[in-house]
Amino acid sequence: MTQAEFVIVANRLPVDRDEDGGWRTSPGGLVTAMEQVMRSVDGAWVGWPGQPDIDVEPFEFDGTRLVPVTLTAEDIEQYYEGFSNDTIWPLYHDVIAAPRYRREWWNAYRRVNRLFATAAADVAAQGATVWVQDYQLQLVPQMLRELRPDLTIGYFHHIPFPAYGLFAQLPWRRQVLEGLLGADVIGFQRVADAGNFARAVRRQLRYETRAGSIRVPTAEGEARTAVVRAFPISIDTAQYEDLARDPDVRARAAEIRASLGNPQRILLGVDRLDYTKGIRHRMKAFGELLQDGRLSVEDVTLVQVASPSRERVETYIQLRDEIELTVGRINGDMDTMGHTAIRYLHQAFPREEMVALFLAADVMLVTALRDGMNLVAKEYVASRVDNRGVLILSEFTGAADELGSAVRVNPHDIEGVKDAIMRGLEMTPAEQSRRMRALRRRVHDHDVQAWSRDFLAALERTRDES
């Protein structure tokens, strides 16, 4: 395989195996975000093909060279399920669940990051640009710089970066910081996350930090500048708008309302089944509104989509049990023969079905306890081409920094969530329209293409200045 001028390095390849043993494009925000970028450049994508212990040769798919990284079942257990998702994920999400620190997981994380770095170094052309994605690969930038100092390296962190008091718990904190500082541009979702990273570097490594940059010592005794700033990610807005105008999708939205008994109002939550998403909090608030008599099951239904996530990790197994017990208890107490309080769907849906749900929903509930961005909030806004609907948005999401016309809530404040739900259900069409128009302007002006252009332009500037 020839070498590429532009390389994406991510935990997963942008494809999944289909039923016939071939490949199909996988769902997900990162794949969508990179789709147009990869079509416009001489690009390659390095990632795990999604199944353990399969050795796949590099191949071309939809105009992009794909470079599979083979991982064993033990690698997946220790590097991915262990260190990435049972150490880093809870630690970086404000320790909502307790992180576990195991040396064998860290050793696997280093080993697998080395595999990704080596694969990227092998496929990158002389002077190429390499863009590393997310928390599973925090050591890759430094490893790649050691292997290929000629490369321009970017790294984007899709999840939050914690305050120093939390990050300092990590036994391998210095190694992680040094790994990230191998990049020329280090991007975060929020200004606060970039600030947290810079403070951790000052406290741990004593490097000089200035507004938006860090001076990183080199092996030659000199220093180079790493750019550190926020690049809030977004969605392909036009794609959601087109689907929302599709007559079949609009007809499906009407079918959804009818299948729920045509309630006066529909509340909607759409999340991965994850303890960071605040699903239990919103269910508690909704259940109390029914118990208090402020809402009736005949008038209002909550639809909760909770797509499967990390189903072999014990914390997630327990979370599913807790949520399903809560749903059963509320429905058992409140349902009538003709109406259900909560329609709970533990499954993933295609994009067309999601847009139909967005159009059917009067109030969108995004009550994450901590979230890097939360693209569902932006997807809902982009889908509301009718300028109707209400977005209730946790202040602890990255989206809250951008979507100022949403109804903001502290998801830990159950009374506040209840009041926000009532406010959303009672909001006049005129206020809905005013708020939604402002939200839609923001999402339209700052779509995923603008995000990638912004980041790659920053990378290009570092190349020109070096």
Any idea which residues carry the catalytic annotation? 158, 371
**Torsion 290-293-298-301 (CA) sign:** negative
Quick one: which H or E segment has residue 466? none
Q: Which two tokens stand for residue 456?
A: 């790659």
Q: Give the orientation angle of helix 314-334 with respect to helix 279-292, to 10 degrees.
A: 10
- Which candidate, 398, 388, 402, places its Cα nearest to that of 435? 388
DSSP string, 194-250: HHHHHHHHHHHH---EETTEEEEE-TTS-EEEEEEEE------HHHHHHHHH-HHHH
Taken as a whole, the chain contains a residue count of 466
Cβ within 8 Å of residue 30, ≥6 positions away: 10, 14, 133, 134, 158
137 contacts 10 by C-beta, under 8 angstroms: yes
Q: Which two tokens stand for residue 68?
A: 């599979």
129 contacts 459 by C-beta, under 8 angstroms: yes
Rounded Cα–Cα distance for residues 20 and 18 (Å): 5
Q: Which two tokens stand for residue 240?
A: 């959601």
Q: Which two tokens stand for residue 108?
A: 């696997």
Q: Give the orientation angle of helix 279-292 with respect to helix 414-426, to 10 degrees.
A: 70
HSE toward the beta carbon, residue 209, CA cutoff 13 A: 19
